[in-house]
Amino acid sequence: MKGKNWKRYTLYGLIAALLGSWAGGVLLIGERNPEARNLSPILTGEGDKILKRACFDCHSNETRWPWYSKVPPLSLGIAYHVSEAREHINFSKWDTLSAHKKGENLQEALHEIKEGDMPLGTYLMLHEEARLSKADVDKITRDISDLYGPQFILPPKKKHTHPGDEDHDDEDETR
Ligand code: HEC
């Protein structure tokens, strides 16, 4: 008898966890791909293609949501990553940034790429096409320097200036 109850509670617990993570994912993202699109160049044609390939699934409103992004509990993790990423940099809102802010965003982006922190490792495991070659990184670096100024290819001064919007506490220092 007792054994059976445990099984049942475990099952209920599992179902509750799945429903919870499903709901959490829906709440986090709401509209999966909001309408705003950026129509102006970020770098050059080639540089933009590189960013699109490696960053846009998380840092834009043009996310390609794979089938497993609808399956809890994965759905929650993926929704969380995309919402966090869009908060830091959303290339679909590129138009709305000042020239200086654009430079700062790209400086931070280049830094993350060079440190090997971006694109996220878990994402790369499933998206080999997003891996950046040395030539890709060189191309982006040249573009940033040519278009925004050579100061933006230097490592950022503040370690974690969250480019984009509000000031976060640096609670994510553990990465
Ligand atoms: C799988 C999703 C994903 C992809 C793909 C991705 N990012 Fe991110 N990015 C995130 C998340 C989540 C955060 C916020 C948490 C963090 O800092 O780790 C973030 C944060 C950032 C930050 C802010 C870092 C900070 O600490 O202030 C920059 C800059 C950045 N990403 C650049 C890029 C660039 C450039 C690419 C493409 C080469 C890229 N990301 C690809 C998910 C992603």
Q: How many domains does the chain have?
A: 1
Tell me the residue range of the domain where 149 lies: 2-153
Residue 175 lies in a domain: no
Q: What is the pTM of this model?
A: 0.87
Residue 160 lies in a domain: no
Residue 162 lies in a domain: no
List the residue whose alpha carbon is closest to atom 12 of ligand 1: 81
Ligand 1 and 86: CB distance under 6 A:
no
Residue 156, preceding bond cis, omega within 30 degrees? no
Q: What is the pLDDT along the chain (175 residues), one digit of tens a residue?
A: 567 899 999 999 999 999 999 999 989 898 899 999 999 999 999 999 999 999 999 999 999 999 999 999 999 999 999 999 999 999 999 999 999 999 999 999 999 999 999 999 999 999 999 999 999 999 999 999 999 999 999 999 875 555 555 544 444 444 4
Q: Find, among 8, 3, 113, the residue nearest to 54 by Cα.
A: 113
How many Å apart are CA 132 and CA 32, to the nearest integer? 26
CA dihedral sign of residues 62, 66, 67, 72: negative
The rounded Å distance from CA 94 to ligand 1 centre is 15
Residue 133 lies in a domain: yes
How many Å apart are CA 29 and CA 83, to the nearest integer? 6
